[in-house]
Amino acid sequence: NQRLDVAVIGTGNWGTTLALVLARGGRNVTLFGRNQAEVAQLQAAGENSRFLPGQRFPANLGLACDLALAAQAQVILLAVPSKTIRSNALQLAPQLVADSIILSCAKGIESGSLETMSEVLAEALAPHPRGLIGALSGPNIANEIAQGLPATSVVALSDDQAGQRAQSLLTTNLLRIYRSSDVVGVELGGALKNIVALGAGICDGMGLGDNAKAAFITRGLAEMTRLGMARGAHPLTFAGLAGLGDLIATCASPHSRNRRLGEALARGQSLEMALAQLGQVAEGVNTTATARQLAEQYGVELPIADELYRVLFEGKSPQQAGLDLMQRDPKNE
Ligand code: 13P
């Protein structure tokens, strides 16, 4: 059995897209589903008809569900919701090869532990070297990438040699990979931007205009940076692809689940209804709660996340939340 270049775990939008783009780029890649039934269904359809209808699987894209095979890949991409990443990693742990690089593709903060995804992975995969565990994050609207449009992403690993290895295995002519050693910064950029995307969707849904939306996104970025720095991230990481870059894409994209959810809330839908209609995970909902807890721990002010929390979980109207944000004590930028 030839060692896989890349194993992609998770058959959602993003996992499927990553597998597609890497297979098209000539990598030896396999997409791992939950079970044999799911794999058989994907195989028979020749595409992921639920998330990416019409994007046919290239002949060199493998499909499997045995994680023992995934555990031996050079790079393992975990493209599962942040809620399930720990249990997926625990399944992977026993067969992991010593030099495998494991990257989280989920953008969230774990409930309870308030850990970033790579911190969760490091625990679940112990004693695998911390330098080989990181994240892949950037302005990566899956549907666009699956359609063959060009994009960039950031591999965050504290071990630079591992970073170079992952970079060369994940780069294709349509996916340009950058490296960062600021793992926590890249991860928090990806996770916290979902909160801002929810709010940007609310701005859109309320028809507040581009000035208000720009202000909201920019002040959101200030909150992301503030909390990130408290957790040891480099502030400039938030001005990069995994921060500002992802904010721009997500707050504008008609595809973004978080932005769409915000739009639905602004039109008066309840959170339950809007989530049911979405039918997918919008990570920003949970991250609004976890980021607030983290901010409290570190004594950081997050007025935008606070207001969103009240809208999401306490029944506050988006209109009132917007007014309250406008009428906060005057602040210097
Ligand atoms: P959504 O989860 O809002 O769809 O955003 C995807 C994303 O993270 C783009 O980079």
Q: Is 193 in the pocket of ligand 1 (CB under 6 A)?
A: no
| Residue 141 beta carbon below 6 angstroms from any ligand 1 atom | yes
Annotated catalytic residue, options 83, 193, 213, 331 = 193
The answer, yes or no, to whether residue 1 has pLDDT greater than 70, is no
Neighbours of 154 (CB within 10 A): 29
Q: What is the ipTM of this complex?
A: 0.96
Average model confidence (pLDDT) across the chain: 97
Ligand 1 binding pocket includes 182 (Cβ within 6 Å): no
Rounded to 10°, the helix 318-326/183-206 angle is 110
Mean pLDDT within 14-26: 98
Q: Mean pLDDT over residues 253-275, rounded?
A: 97
Predicted confidence (pLDDT) at residue 239 exceeds the cutoff of 90: yes
Average the pLDDT over 33-61 and give the result: 98
Element (H, E) at 2: none
> Ligand 1 pocket: which of 140, 175, 248 to mutate (most atoms <8 Å of CB)?
140
Four-residue CA torsion sign, 14, 194, 251, 299:
negative
Q: Is the CB of 263 under 6 A from ligand 1?
A: no
State the distance from the centre of ligand 1 to the C-alpha of 186, rounded, in angstroms. 14
Q: Whose CA is nearest to atom 5 of ligand 1?
A: 256
Mutate to test the pocket of ligand 1, among 18, 105, 107 (most ligand atoms within 8 A of CB): 107
What average pLDDT does this structure show over 254-282? 96
Q: Is 197 in the pocket of ligand 1 (CB under 6 A)?
A: yes
The burial of 140, by beta-carbon neighbours within 10 Å (0-12 exposed, 13-18 middle, 19 or more buried), is given as: buried
> Does the beta carbon of 79 sit less than 6 angstroms from any atom of ligand 1?
no
What's the CA gap between 248 and 312, in Å, rounded? 23
Region 262-290: mean pLDDT is 96
Q: Are 111 and 286 in contact (CB under 8 A)?
A: yes
Beta bridge partners of 78: 9, 104
**Measured in angstroms, how far is the CA atom of residue 331 from the centroid of ligand 1?**
30
Probe residue for ligand 1, chosen from 18, 140, 153, 250 as the CB with the greatest number of ligand atoms within 8 Å: 250
* CA-255 nearest atom, ligand 1: 4
Residue 221's φ and ψ, nearest 5 degrees, are: -60, -35
201 lines ligand 1 (CB under 6 A): no
Q: What per-residue confidence (pLDDT) applies to 212?
A: 97
Q: Which residues contact 48 (CB under 8 A, 6 or more apart)?
A: 11, 16, 42, 55
Q: Cα–Cα–Cα angle for 15, 193, 231, nearest 5°?
A: 105
* pLDDT cut 70: percent of the chain above it: 99
**pLDDT cut 90: percent of the chain above it:** 98
**pLDDT for 145:** 98
Q: How far is the CA of 13 from the centre of ligand 1 (A)?
A: 10
Sequence-separated (6 or more) residues with CB below 8 Å from residue 218? none
Distance in Å, CA 137 to ligand 1 centroid: 10
Distance 320 CA to ligand 1 centre (A): 26
12 CB near ligand 1 (under 6 Å):
no
Among candidates 171, 199, 307, which has minimal Cα distance to 256? Answer: 199
Ligand 1 atom showing the smallest separation from residue 13 Cα: 4
Burial class (CB in 10 A: 0-12, 13-18, 19+), 248: middle
Residues 86, 113: Cα–Cα separation, whole Å = 11
User: For the residues 252-275, what does the mean pLDDT come to?
Assistant: 97
Note the pLDDT of residue 330: 77
Distance of CA 232 from the midpoint of ligand 1 (Å): 24
Please give the C-alpha separations between residue 129 and each of 100, 126, 254, 291, in angstroms, as whole numbers: 9, 8, 39, 27
DSSP 3-state percent helix, strand, coil across the chain (nearest 5): 55, 10, 35
pLDDT confidence of residue 137: 98
Q: Residues 10, 16, 22, 27: is their CA dihedral positive or negative?
A: positive
Q: Where are the beta strands (DSSP E) in the chain?
A: 6-9, 29-32, 61-64, 75-78, 101-104, 133-137, 151-156, 175-180
193 among known catalytic residues:
yes
Please say whether the beta carbons of 217 and 168 come within 8 A.
no
Ligand 1 near 249 CB (within 6 A): yes
- Confidence at residue 291, expressed as pLDDT on a 0 to 100 scale: 98
Average pLDDT over residues 162-184: 98
Phi-psi region of 141 (alpha: psi -120 to 50; beta: other; left: phi over 0): beta
What span, in angstroms and rounded, lies between the C-alpha atoms of 206 and 105? 31
> pLDDT band for position 223 (50/70/90)?
very high
Q: Give the pLDDT score at 2.
A: 81
Q: Which residues pair with 179 in a beta bridge?
A: 155
Does position 128 have pLDDT exceeding 70, yes or no?
yes
Three-class SS of residue 79?
coil
Strand order in the sheet with 133-137: 61-64, 29-32, 6-9, 75-78, 101-104, 133-137, 151-156, 175-180
